[in-house]
Amino acid sequence: MPDETALPSGSEILLLEDDAPFRKRLAAYLRHRGAEVTEASRIDEARRLLRDVRFEFALVDLHLPDGTVLELLREGAFSENTSIVVMTAFGGIKEAVEAIRLGAGDYLSKPFEPDELPLAFQRGRTLRRTARREEHLSKENSRKADQLFFGQSLAPIRAQLDLILATERRMERRLPALLIEGETGTGKSVLARWLHREGPRASQAFITINCAALPEALAESELFGHERGAFTDAKHARIGLFEAADGGTLFLDEIGSLAPATQAKVLTALDGGTIRRIGGTREIFVDARLITANNRPLSELVQAGAFREDLYHRLNLLRITLPPLRDRGTDLIPLARDLLAKIGARHRLKGLTITPAGEARLLAQRWPGNVRELAHEIERAVIFGAGAPLDFAALGSAALAPAGGWRNPAWRMPADGFSLDATIDELIAEALRESNNNVSAAARQLSVTRDFIRYRLSGEKPSA
């Protein structure tokens, strides 16, 4: 990562100063550091330039022969993406403070040494990014990141996560992307927050966005920002979430929903560590640790032509697949107790418990909504249970079968009989559907071997 006090190479800077010798000195210093400097000496000249050029930085004297910079700030002449540093002579501190209230990022009292400029510009950029982060975070339900319950079923995943975190602590910067896959409700966003909190960037911003909720026309602007006038409704400039997450973590949930053009820009950001705002002309360095998630395997989207293969391979460097709740076995009960403790604390209820019958009912459910559905069912029971032990009677009669049973107690053998062979095939087909054709998972559900399922699928049935 570049020195934080260094100006990015190629930065466009507006230098507004009527003292020609001092202006030339500052311009020479900035150009020597790789900046592209546009000089002006009057307010009206600067106004014309600001209409035509998108400046990354502006270094402006407070008082000019034809007015003050406060006029430009009140007019909104500067792009919201421009970091503004005001120069003021002795006695002008009150007006400099007013300039900061109107959008300037910092001020320097004359005389000053040119070496003070990079740090002043950097302070302005930091303020811009902080404001964007706060704007984004204020739109979300601010809440403390949940503690993640792993249990025995997630022990192999926990071992992988420990290795990933150890790698991140060694690297600190330019961290590799991580892809989390799993059905809706399995805890992908909770895992992303946990990784951020346990990693080396825990003190920095965690920015999250659900890509499926972004209209295609706004996705690029939200992620990469835009300059004023970049499109019809772009009345104000805005930095994107990649910039807002610089130094922290950006979590793109349901990344498979992004349009191909936006996917291409995400790939560029990953490969080069740079982004370009819509309507902008220069590359901006960002070091956002990227975590992505999707409820459908991205490999399937690639095969269907709905996701870029090059981006998939870039994201697939590190991948975690969260199993559905139905595949977590007896971990469901300690998970339910863990959720009950958190929900009870939120409702200011202590000592809540689940009855043995309630546990049996929980185990009997298929939970298509996974952990999220389980949490909602527990909270519903807490609200209507008035503090009594939870038995989940509302889950229905399907849960009332004897322990380890599956048959509806009301079922009776048909008078004309039925085909046991066909029933076995139907059960296997159902298990394969629910496990997305994963033979191993289906075998676990049916308590048989994989070879048994392959034998049944081969069509070599025993004679009756």
311 & 366 share domain: no
In a domain, 442, yes or no: yes
Question: What pLDDT, on a 0 to 100 scale, did the predictor assign at position 145?
Answer: 41
In a domain, 412, yes or no: no
100 & 159 share domain: no
Lowest mean pLDDT among 32-36, 102-106, 195-199, 416-420: 416-420
pLDDT confidence bin for 8, thresholds 50/70/90: low
167 & 209 share domain: yes
Decide if pLDDT at 398 tops 70: no
318 & 204 share domain: yes
Question: What pLDDT, on a 0 to 100 scale, did the predictor assign at position 9?
Answer: 61
Question: What pLDDT, on a 0 to 100 scale, did the predictor assign at position 244?
Answer: 86
Q: Which of 111, 127, 143 is the last residue of a domain?
A: 127
229 & 302 share domain: yes
In a domain, 462, yes or no: no
The CATH number that applies at residue 331 is 1.10.8.60
| Burial of 62 (C-beta count, 10 Å sphere; 0-12/13-18/19+) | buried
Decide if pLDDT at 136 tops 70: no
In a domain, 93, yes or no: yes
Question: What does each C-alpha distance from 254 to 122, 182, 197, 323 come to in angstroms?
Answer: 33, 11, 21, 17
The CATH number that applies at residue 441 is 1.10.10
Q: Which of 127, 161, 186 is the last residue of a domain?
A: 127
Q: Which of 343, 392, 334 is nearest to 365 (CA)?
A: 392
201 & 285 share domain: yes
In a domain, 281, yes or no: yes
Q: pLDDT, tens digit, for every residue of 198-207?
A: 998 888 889 9
Question: What pLDDT, on a 0 to 100 scale, did the predictor assign at position 142?
Answer: 40
Residues, the chain, total?
464
302 & 212 share domain: yes
Across residues 394-404, what is the average pLDDT? 51
In a domain, 23, yes or no: yes
332 & 280 share domain: no
* Integer Cα distance of 149 and 191 in angstroms: 10
Question: What pLDDT, on a 0 to 100 scale, did the predictor assign at position 7?
Answer: 62
For strand 225-226 and strand 238-239, is the pairing parallel, antiparallel, or unpaired?
antiparallel
Q: pLDDT, tens digit, for every residue of 243-264?
A: 888 889 999 999 999 999 999 9
Lowest mean pLDDT among 89-98, 174-183, 386-395, 427-436: 89-98
Decide if pLDDT at 360 tops 60: yes
75 & 114 share domain: yes
User: For the chain, what is the HEC assignment?
Assistant: CCCCCCCCCCCEEEEECCCHHHHHHHHHHHHHCCCEEEEECCHHHHHHHHHHCCCCEEEEECEECCEEHHHHHHHCCCCCCCEEEEEECCCCHHHHHHHHHCCCCEEEECCCCHHHHHHHHHHHHHHHHHHHHHHHHHCCCCCCCCCCCCCHHHHHHHHHHHHHHHHHHHHCCCCCCEEEECCCCCCHHHHHHHHHHHCCCCCCCEEEEEHHHCCHHHHHHHHHEECCCCCCCCCCCEECHHHHCCCCEEEEECHHHCCHHHHHHHHHHHHHCEECCECCCCCEECCCEEEEEECCCHHHHHHCCCCCHHHHHHHCCEEEECCCHHHCHHHHHHHHHHHHHHHHHHCCCCCCCECHHHHHHHHHCCCCCHHHHHHHHHHHHHHHHCCCCECCHHHCHHHHCCCCCCCCCCCCCCCCCCCHHHHHHHHHHHHHHHCCCCHHHHHHHHCCCHHHHHHHHCCCCCCC
194 & 250 share domain: yes
Q: pLDDT, tens digit, for every residue of 364-377?
A: 888 889 999 999 99
Question: What pLDDT, on a 0 to 100 scale, did the predictor assign at position 366?
Answer: 86
Q: Which of 300, 323, 346 is the last residue of a domain?
A: 323
Give 307-310's long-range contacts (Cβ < 8 A, gap of 24+). 307/256, 307/263, 308/260, 308/263, 308/264, 308/267, 310/267
- Greater pLDDT, 327 or 124: 327
Decide if pLDDT at 27 tops 60: yes
- Domain hosting residue 308, numbered range: 152-323
* Integer Cα distance of 461 and 464 in angstroms: 9
17 & 93 share domain: yes
In a domain, 72, yes or no: yes
The CATH number that applies at residue 239 is 3.40.50.300
Question: What pLDDT, on a 0 to 100 scale, did the predictor assign at position 153?
Answer: 85
**Most confident region among 127-131, 235-239, 290-294 by mean pLDDT:** 290-294
pLDDT confidence bin for 403, thresholds 50/70/90: very low
pLDDT confidence bin for 422, thresholds 50/70/90: confident
pLDDT confidence bin for 91, thresholds 50/70/90: low
- Greater pLDDT, 227 or 7: 227
In a domain, 429, yes or no: yes
Question: What pLDDT, on a 0 to 100 scale, did the predictor assign at position 98?
Answer: 85
Across residues 156-172, what is the average pLDDT? 90
Contact 52, 14 (CB under 8 A): no
User: Based on the structure, what is the number of domains in the chain?
Assistant: 4
Question: What pLDDT, on a 0 to 100 scale, did the predictor assign at position 354?
Answer: 92
Which tokens go with 107? 């001020």
157 & 304 share domain: yes
Mean pLDDT of the chain: 83
Decide if pLDDT at 390 tops 60: yes
pLDDT confidence bin for 310, thresholds 50/70/90: very high
